[in-house]
Amino acid sequence: MPFLHAAWTVKHKPKSTVEIIGNPSAIKTLCDWLQSWNKGIPKKRAAFLYGPPGVGKTVSVEVLAHDLGMELVEKNASDYRTEDAIKRFAGLASQYASLFGGKRIILLDELDGLMGNADKGGVKAIINIIKTARSPVVLIANNAYDPRFRTLRSYCLLIDFKKPNSSSIAKRLHHICTREGILADEDALKFLAQRSGGDVRSAVIDLQALAQGKKNLTYNDVSWLAYRDRQESIFNVLKMIIYGRTSYGAKQAVNMTDVDIDMLFEWIYENVPEHFTDPHDLVQAMDALSMADVYRGKIRASQDWSFTRYVIDYMSAGVAMARQNSKVQGWIPFKFPSRIMMLSRSKAQRALRKSIGLKIRRKCHISAARASAEVMPYLRIIFKNDVHNAAGIAKWLDLDEEMIEYIVGNKAKAGQITAFLH
């Protein structure tokens, strides 16, 4: 069983508005609106917070509820899609004070989840609740200007949350590293902040995945993230697929990242075994992935790209629906696909071996392939056992330090050989 860790997004969640990165004017607008309820019911009984994922919308509501001494009644709107479900949860809650007579906030998060055929009057029910609410209602979505929300917007105070700049995110990551006892290179944190695209939550998830259990975090530890061209954090996409509740949601997650289908398949294949605890569920998930792989093979063989929809269905909805009895064990880090890492390393090694072969070809007038196959094994023996001669050969072939280290297979020994060159 993998070792479990507390999620840093929870462990290091802001405790005050000062700790929230960016959007001070949006937070102030929200705070002023919440405080206006002390003077009576305002004209706008609901606030609609919108903006990209991970910019602090939900945490701002949570922090302000604590600071203002208000009870927070919070649910994901995607879990309450029908009119009856919305009324059962938010209808009564919006009419009464808290158990001890204090103020309360009704928070409906992830309003985007109401999209699709599963929404049976959910938006209409929310509008009706807002009209008579005696407690502040806060709605959160990524896009408030979706046509579905056109009528809803007219009843709400719209508050725009924007992406914070990368330098602010890097400072937050540095603060977390300090609290975790990790010495992090400034370049590594800047890289993570820039790659997050303004998504603070994504940056913290990345940081934990890469730095957990380490005392030092270097740029080399994070540089492989350059392989990830993403709109949405690949970790968030994986979570939506592996822990997805609906086929629709899992399939939509595929559209939220710029990682190509083959790379996403590798991510899912690598991480499914760690996140499915029930053997039967795991068998079903791997069967779905095997079917996805069959259709990938058909695409390669026939170049018929219409099979892509089957690949997506099996590797997203197929995996999500396989999860029936598996339990959530806490936070388990997602892993970069080992097969991709192995291929990227071997590609670099093949390129280095070819470069050495070309050096030998120029001096020995043989093909680079023959040089690699026949000459290099002898060079390896010489380099391992005779530093002086190895240095002479390296100078004659014009080998650099990386080539010498590749041949000898030992960094310390390569250093001794290089020392003779100077």
Q: What is the CATH number for 77?
A: 3.40.50.300
Q: Domain tally for the chain?
A: 4
- Strand (E) or helix (H) holding 390: helix 387-397
Q: Is residue 6 part of a domain?
A: no
Residues 392 and 324 reside in one and the same domain: no
- For residue 14, being part of any structural domain is answered with no
- Classify each residue of 23-52 as buried b or exposed e, where b means 16 or more C-beta atoms within 10 Å of its C-beta: beebbebbbebbeebeeeeeebbbbbbbbb
DSSP letter string, 31-96: HHHHHHGGGS--S--EEEEE-STTSSHHHHHHHHHHHTT-EEEEEEGGG--BHHHHIIIIIHHTTS
Question: Residue 352: which pLDDT band, with cuts at 50, 70 and 90?
Answer: confident
Q: Do residues 136 and 171 both lie within one domain?
A: no
Which are the contacts of 287, defined by CB distance < 8 A and separation ≥ 6? 318, 322
Instruction: DSSP for 234-282, please give it.
Output: HHHHHHHHHT-SSHHHHHHHHTT--S-HHHHHHHHHHHHHHH--SHHHH
pLDDT the model gives residue 231: 44
pLDDT score recorded for residue 117: 43
Given 160, 178, 194, the domain boundary residue is: 160
Give the pLDDT of residue 100: 46
Task: Say yes or no: 215 and 140 in one domain.
Answer: no
Identify whether 16 is part of a domain: no
Q: Are residues 217 and 279 in the same domain?
A: no
Residue 217 resides in a domain: yes
pLDDT at 181 over 90: yes
**Whether residues 223 and 240 fall in one domain:** no
5 lies in some domain: no
What is the reported pLDDT for 230? 44
For the stretch 114-158, pLDDT in tens is 654 444 467 888 888 888 888 899 999 888 888 888 899 999 999
189 part of a folded domain: yes
Tell me the per-residue pLDDT of 197-245, one tens digit each, with 9 for 90 and over. Answer: 888 988 898 888 888 778 999 888 887 665 444 445 678 888 889 988 8
Where would I find the H helices in 278-337?
279-302, 308-312, 319-322
Give the predicted TM-score (pTM) of the model: 0.53
At which of 303, 336, 369 does a domain end? 336
- Is residue 421 predicted with pLDDT exceeding 70? yes
Instruction: Please answer whether residues 364 and 37 qualify as being in contact, where contact means their C-beta atoms are separated by less than 8 angstroms.
Output: no
203 contacts 175 by C-beta, under 8 angstroms: no
- CA-closest candidate to residue 151, choices 130, 111, 124, 119: 124
Whether the CB-CB separation of 357 and 371 falls below 8 Å is answered with yes
Q: Residue 5's pLDDT is what?
A: 52
Beta strands in 124-202 (DSSP E): 137-141, 156-160, 183-184
How much is the pLDDT for 4?
Answer: 41
Same domain, 210 and 258: no
Residues 372 and 331 reside in one and the same domain: no
Lowest mean pLDDT among 27-36, 175-184, 241-250, 290-299: 241-250
Same domain, 202 and 185: yes
Q: What is the pLDDT of residue 98?
A: 47
In three-state secondary structure terms, 107 is strand
Same domain, residue pair 108 and 170 = no
pLDDT of residue 68: 92
Give the domain CATH number at 179.
1.10.8.60
Domain end, chosen from 160, 176, 210, is at 160
pLDDT at 347 over 50: yes
Same domain, 373 and 325: no
For residues 126 and 242, membership in a common domain is answered with no
Domain span at residue 212 reads 166-227
Q: Which residue is listed with tokens 């009209």? A: 131
Helix axes 376-385, 401-408, angle to 10 degrees: 90
Task: Provide φ and ψ at 25, rounded to 5°.
Answer: -70, -40
Strands (E) located in 117-169: 137-141, 156-160
Q: Rounded to whole angstroms, how far apart are CA atoms 394 and 307?
A: 52
Residue 4, in any domain of the structure: no
pLDDT digits (tens, 9 = 90+) for 46-70: 999 999 888 999 999 999 999 999 9
Whether 212 and 314 map to the same domain: the answer is no
> Does 387 reside within a domain?
yes
